[in-house]
């Protein structure tokens, strides 16, 4: 389970990042870097975290024209990001360009290809929010599965999706397609702004390959203990 829990280091405080990553490496392999942590660490953060024993998920959710995303992904692969995501709604051509450029960069640097993920729909959006924000009559789950299949067709390794859609995506995309799920809340944590949520045990039971947890760990009084409790819950699943 150590390899399947990703901790979101959602802070721009360098000391916090240093302390959290140094402490959590005892029990957690993957950390996730968003704009906040990236603004502090820069690309130096990849080798620095790798040297500590972490793998790094760069969560910048690229969403731009194919040429720009291809260059973004190429640069980040060269600097050593181990997992990178792009918005699946950027389209098939954009995702294919991202895949090709990530593979080219890995080949040039003689490093493993990064795991490339498509973001389907943010876990903070529920059915009503989806209809309001996207003006769509389509069911939210249908949209998520549609985007997951598009990501698969483009050659991406998997998707980021809510735990509530794991089983449907699994059925549509098969066992070799990675499903990474944020929106995880143990019973003892607050839900904050997350809407489509479940517990760590339930996400694993439903078939998530990785779960992403931020605030329940990084804002806990004892982050190491919180991570340990979540790992125990994952084992139950």
What are the residue numbers of the active site?
Answer: 61
Among 41, 94, 154, 213, binds ligand C5P (CB under 6 A): 213
Q: How far apart are CA 156 and CA 115, in angstroms?
A: 8
Q: Which helix (H) or strand (E) holds 7?
A: strand 5-8
- Binding mask 141-170 toward ligand C5P (x if CB under 6 A, else -) reads -------------------x----------
Angle subtended by helix axes 92-109 and 66-79, to nearest 10: 30
Q: In Å, how far from its chain's centre is CA 81?
A: 12
Can you tell me which of 70, 81, 122, 208 binds ligand C5P, judged by CB under 6 A?
A: 122
Please say which residue, 37 or 97, places its beta carbon nearer to ligand C5P.
37
Task: Output 103 or 219, the one with its CB closest to ligand C5P.
Answer: 219
What tokens appear for 226 in the block? 């919180």
Q: Are 58 and 83 in contact (CB under 8 A)?
A: yes
Instruction: Output the smallest distance, CB 11 to ligand C5P, in A.
Output: 10
| Distance separating alpha carbons of residues 76 and 11, to the nearest angstrom | 20
Give the interface with ligand C5P as residue ranges (CB under 6 A). 8, 10, 34, 119, 122-123, 160, 182-183, 192, 194, 212-215
């Amino acid at each position: 389970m150590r390899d399947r829990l990703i901790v979101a280091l959602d802070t721009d405080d360098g000391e916090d990042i240093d302390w959290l990553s140094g402490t959590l490496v005892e029990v957690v392999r993957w950390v996730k870097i968003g704009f906040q942590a990236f603004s502090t660490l820069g690309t130096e953060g990849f080798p620095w975290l790798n040297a500590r024993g972490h793998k790094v998920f760069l969560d910048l959710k690229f969403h731009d024209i194919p040429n720009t995303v291809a260059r973004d992904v190429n640069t980040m692969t060269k600097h050593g990001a181990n997992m990178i995501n792009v918005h699946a709604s950027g389209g098939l051509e954009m995702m294919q360009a991202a895949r090709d450029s990530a593979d080219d960069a890995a080949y040039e640097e003689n490093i493993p290809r990064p795991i490339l993920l498509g973001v389907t729909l943010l876990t903070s959006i529920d059915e009503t929010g989806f209809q309001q924000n996207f003006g769509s009559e389509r069911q939210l789950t249908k949209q998520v599965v549609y985007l997951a299949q598009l990501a698969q067709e483009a050659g991406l390794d998997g998707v980021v999706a809510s735990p509530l859609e794991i089983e449907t995506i699994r059925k549509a995309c098969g066992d070799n397609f990675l499903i990474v799920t944020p929106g995880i809340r143990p019973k003892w944590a607050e839900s904050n702004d997350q809407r489509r949520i479940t517990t760590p045990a339930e996400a694993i039971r439903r078939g998530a390959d990785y779960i992403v947890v931020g605030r329940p760990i990084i804002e806990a009084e004892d982050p190491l203990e919180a991570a340990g409790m979540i790992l125990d819950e994952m084992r139950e699943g």
